[in-house]
Amino acid sequence: MALRTIESLGSLTGKKVIVRCDLNVPLKEGVITDDGRIRASLGTLRLLLDQGAQVIVISHLGRPKGAPEPQYSLAPAASRLGELLEIDAPLAADTVGEDAQRLVGGLEDGQLVVLENLRFNPGETSKDDAERRAFAEQLASFADAFVSDGFGVVHRKQASVYDLPQLVPSAAGLLVANELEVLERLTSAVERPYSVVLGGSKVSDKLGVIEHLLPRVDSILIGGGMLFTFLAAQGHKVGSSLLESDQLDTVRGYLADAEQRGVSIVLPSDVVVAASFSAHAEHEVVPADGIEDSRFGASGIGLDIGPETAKAFASVIRDSKTVFWNGPMGVFEFAAFAEGTRSVADALTDVDGLSVVGGGDSAAAVRTLGFADDRFGHISTGGGASLEFLEGKQLPGLQVLGW
């Protein structure tokens, strides 16, 4: 079956359309630090508003525990959404309560309301099918149709993602359709050489994607905190760096499998080691096999790939026709340990082919480091969803849309 798109819903003029967006933006003291996910939702919302639909936006933000928590209110996101759309975007004080009913009931064609954080209601993330379904039914009572446009949550079996689209006519929004189109280019008819750059803190988060991609790629470049488990698997000491000892045998298996397949797993030749995990910690560059030979000894902690590695990674990336990158190369939030990530991002902008930044921390990193979105082929809005797609998993939020 093919993915159902908005066109399949017919005319939406005068219809109430509930849209599952992903407005889960990072906040610092109540201020949005990256509005990329809000901007990504504008295409679908403008399309529906221009058609004369009455739009009900739903989303989560953060991880509240099934009850209202003021720091997780969608108020900043609703305010920014209204600014970008240049319309009023009132926020209901609840999810399906009296205020939500009042605002939804007062909608006119071409108008929009935002319901409060879905995760303020325990039904949204409940493992109990009946509780989740009951919340979905309350949401469905507001709408004539449903549009799924929060790609960052399509791998979740949650009320607004999985149950709701089964209760009213439903389709994928422009964002979800575009994400799928790009990610399918990473799994079928791929232009080679095909390189995957993996970083972030934990090997365990990337096990599935490494296993699934090994038969499909030419190179896998390993950075971030996960690199130290790879180094340890080769017998090197890693000081106080992040290490998942329980994954050493698995990593050795991947290294052997890659060698057998002729896939190049590129590991750092040098790393930046610091005295402690802090922005202004003393640090030095050392060979990857000599971390404990630094002046910090066994207490040294690796916080970035080194300049020699950054140059080598950039060379592989620039020589590739297809590149997927998920996970920063170091602690990019600290200026002293951001150069590895900056080097990878810069190389991606030079790819003569498809370059994909795989959401999550990678997307935050490129924006934090000053790169414009349009310098990359695609910046995904869903890190976890992108990884699970590339692992070959069935994603519940897409299955219910016919995919």
For residue 141, the domain's CATH number is 3.40.50.1260
Taking the C-alpha atoms of residue 147 and residue 17, their distance in angstroms, rounded to an integer, is 7
Residue 170 within any structural domain of the chain: yes
- DSSP 8-state code for residue 163: I
**Annotation-wise, does 86 bind a ligand?**
no
Quick check: 395 and 388 in contact, CB under 8 A?
A: yes
Q: Taking all residues of the chain, what is their mean pLDDT, rounded to a whole number?
A: 95
Question: How much is the pLDDT for 390?
Answer: 87
Domain that holds residue 137: 6-175
211 assigned ligand-binding residue? no
245 in the same domain as 105: no
> What are the residue numbers of the active site?
37, 202, 360, 384
Number of domains in the chain: 2
- The continuous run of DSSP H or E covering 366 comes out as helix 360-368
Distance of alpha carbon 372 from alpha carbon 382, whole angstroms? 18
Looking at the fold, whether 374 and 252 belong to one and the same domain comes out as yes
pTM, entire model: 0.90
In a domain, 402, yes or no: no
Shared domain for 274 and 317, answered yes or no, is yes
Determine whether the annotation assigns residue 81 to a binding site.
Answer: no
Domain termination residue (choose one: 150, 175, 200): 175
- Considering the domain architecture, whether residues 66 and 117 belong to the same structural domain is answered as yes
CA distances (Å), 14 to each of 108, 115, 144, 245, in order?
8, 19, 10, 58
Between 107 and 2, whose confidence is greater? 107
The verdict on whether residue 333 carries a ligand-binding annotation is yes
Annotated binding-site residue? 367: no
Q: Are residues 82 and 188 in the same domain?
A: no
pLDDT tens for 100-157 read: 999 999 999 999 999 999 999 999 999 999 999 999 999 999 999 999 999 999 999 9
In this structure, the answer to whether residues 230 and 312 fall within a common structural domain is yes
Q: What is the pLDDT of residues 320-360, one digit of tens each?
A: 999 999 999 999 999 999 999 999 999 999 999 999 998 77
Could you tell me if 204 and 166 lie in one domain?
A: no
Q: How far is CA 199 from CA 3, 123, 397, in A?
A: 31, 34, 26
Same domain, 255 and 110: no
> Based on the domain organization, do 168 and 210 belong to the same domain?
no
Residue 143, domain member (yes or no):
yes
* Distance in angstroms (rounded) separating the CA atoms of residues 391 and 389: 5
**Residue 261 within any structural domain of the chain:** yes
326 annotated as a binding-site residue: no
What b/e string do you get for 99-114 counting C-beta neighbours within 10 Å, with b at 16 or more? bbeebbeebeebbbbb
Strands (E), 306-377: 322-326, 354-357
Residue 1 reports pLDDT greater than 60: no
